[in-house]
Amino acid sequence: MSNPHFLDSDWWRHAVVYQVYPRSFADADNDGTGDVRGITSKLPHLADLGVDAVWISPWYPSPLLDGGYDVADYRDINPDFGTLADADELIAKAHELGIRVIIDLVPNHSSWEHPWFREALATTPGSPERERYIFRDGRGADGELPPNNWGSIFGGPAWTRTTNPDGTPGQWYLHLFDVSQPDWNWENPEVAAMFDDVLRFWFDRGIDGFRVDVADSMAKHPELPDHEVNPHTGFGSNDKRPGSPHWDFPGVDAIQRRWRAVADEYADTELGGRIFVAEAYLDPISRLVEYVRPDRLHTTFNFDALLSAWTVGSQRAVIEKTIPAHESVGAPTTWVLGNHDNVRVATRYGKPITGVDYTVTDPLESAGDPIELGTRLHAMPTDLELGRRRARAAALLEFSLPGSAYIYQGEELGLEEVEDIPEALLQDPAWERSGHRVRGRDGCRVPLPWSGGVAPFGFGVDAAPWLPQPAHWDEFTVEAQDVDPGSMLNLYRAALALRRERADFRSDDMAPHGLDGGDVIAFTRGSGTVVVVNFGAQPVELPAGEVLLTSVDLVDGKLPQDATAWVATG
Ligand code: NOJ
């Protein structure tokens, strides 16, 4: 399918972006781990699906202690995934197919294998090498206590003590995430300049944008004070309330403006518009949309949409709060159902509790920590048939809303969270750091099934994938779904084709429809495409017009529960 909007300078305002988690997408060299050539080989699948862009999670050299979010070299490709030449080929092939390429930027921390961190460890306190990271003396008589009470997002303290070259205990370094992920010191101009170079390195290779990992964390309070403990969660570090010494701390804005200026240098190139999408879990939304003011980043993930319960009230609340908030700064809203950090949507929507209820949740409660939420959900039983039915309805809602939409790999296949990965195989650092309390995010990272009747289902040829795939995924392969008109894959293809074809979906106009209210969300897009979502048991009569697409078959001409319809009335 060709993409008529590929060269539009504002392609990102309406783009459907497909997230690739490289380790788990496709394994061209058959070593059990996905790779760059694997991604390139499957680009025709993505073109066929109808996406406008791919976002590739980190593909850099890394010990993979946090799945690649521990970067050892920002200007190269992990040898397990391929080479820079493979990346160039991927970019060229994607562009030929009308697909933009976004990669991850991980600016809060590096890997402890980054040469600058190794140099820092090899030098003494106060050296210029140490100034690139955040080293401090400990508290207590012998410096035996961490410099403050900050905790790692993955559990345990956010500080680890070093050992001096002579074997004595040394300073501590800060890591808001895993011990293997030391935080950069963004006060140091060398660090900022290094990241400018990284941006240019990839923009020059033809990359169309960056997804910015924890875009709200780079700036820290200069005195590194203790933070208050959140009374709701009893834990401090995930507390996103205003006043945090390291989330959304003043200074993060200047860093983002600096990056924006670099991207804008490319405005007049053939590909034009290079963009940033922010990963930031921030409440209230008025703080989040500051990130997408015209001189800062372009878009930001709508984590409220991702985390919201599948209830009419919560879904409505998210739509009603996010669209005007983004409009107030002139940025498009994004719509997201999943990513590599959250329980897969088909599973979540099949649980007794399907997510955060935004009609009642106190936004200050910081209820949205994905790792914690995942663990709470894990303990509940799942009705997967129901979950998949709702996931179909949710996809048609997502793709019909104004702005840009994200698909996490495998969502288009209706894959479920793999909840029974043997403990010995779990790789998420949260598992160890939480003392085996939090299983973590491996369940949504299981390699994709492409074809055939037995594992690895075309992921590689015959090598065992790095995480085991469920035996029943033979029913969920691309090959199996391709020939099934009722499959999730064909629903996604049909929806994205209509979204691309119909001017109504590219307009920003959205007005409530007469059916809206009670258990129904209904609105008109543009000049006459009506979207109806029925959350209630009572079937709903659709408006007169041509039914373009429904997430399930109508029953006696009516829209049943947990279903969405698109109707052309104009
Ligand atoms: C957010 C990423 O999505 C997640 O996978 C990672 O663990 C943390 N940031 C730390 O980089």
Q: Residue 180's closest CA among 430, 459, 497, 467?
A: 430
Could you tell me the distance, in angstroms and rounded to a whole number, from the CA of residue 86 to the centre of ligand 1?
A: 25
Contact 299, 332 (CB under 8 A): yes
Q: Residue 475's closest CA among 524, 414, 424, 430?
A: 414
Task: Give the model's confidence band at 236: pLDDT under 50 very low, under 70 low, under 90 confident, else very high.
Answer: low
Q: Rounded mean pLDDT of the chain?
A: 95
Atom of ligand 1 nearest to the CA of 106: 11
At residue 242, the pLDDT reads: 82
CA distances from 463 to 33, 68, 171 (A): 9, 21, 44
Most ligand 1 atoms within 8 A of CB, residue of 21, 62, 69, 373 to mutate:
69
Average pLDDT over residues 558-570: 96
Per-residue pLDDT tens over the stretch 13-23: 999 999 999 99
Q: Angle at Cα 314 formed by Cα 374 and Cα 13, nearest 5°?
A: 85
- Find the residues whose C-beta lies inside 6 A of ligand 1: 66, 69, 106, 177, 213-214, 279, 340-341
Atom of ligand 1 nearest to the CA of 339: 3
At residue 365, the pLDDT reads: 56
Average pLDDT over residues 501-526: 97
pLDDT at 257 > cutoff 90: yes
Q: Name the DSSP class of 435.
A: T
Our measurement of the distance from residue 546's CA atom to the centroid of its chain's CA atoms, rounded to an integer in Å, reads 35
Per-residue pLDDT tens over the stretch 148-176: 999 998 888 999 999 988 899 999 999 99
Least confident residue range of 36-45, 90-99, 211-220, 367-376: 367-376
Per-residue pLDDT tens over the stretch 421-445: 999 999 999 899 888 988 999 999 9
The pTM (predicted TM-score) of the whole model is: 0.97
Could you tell me the distance, in angstroms and rounded to a whole number, from the CA of residue 393 to the centre of ligand 1?
A: 28
- How many other C-beta atoms can be found within 10 angstroms of the C-beta atom of residue 548? 18
Task: Give the model's confidence band at 310: pLDDT under 50 very low, under 70 low, under 90 confident, else very high.
Answer: very high
Nearest CA to ligand 1 atom 5: 341
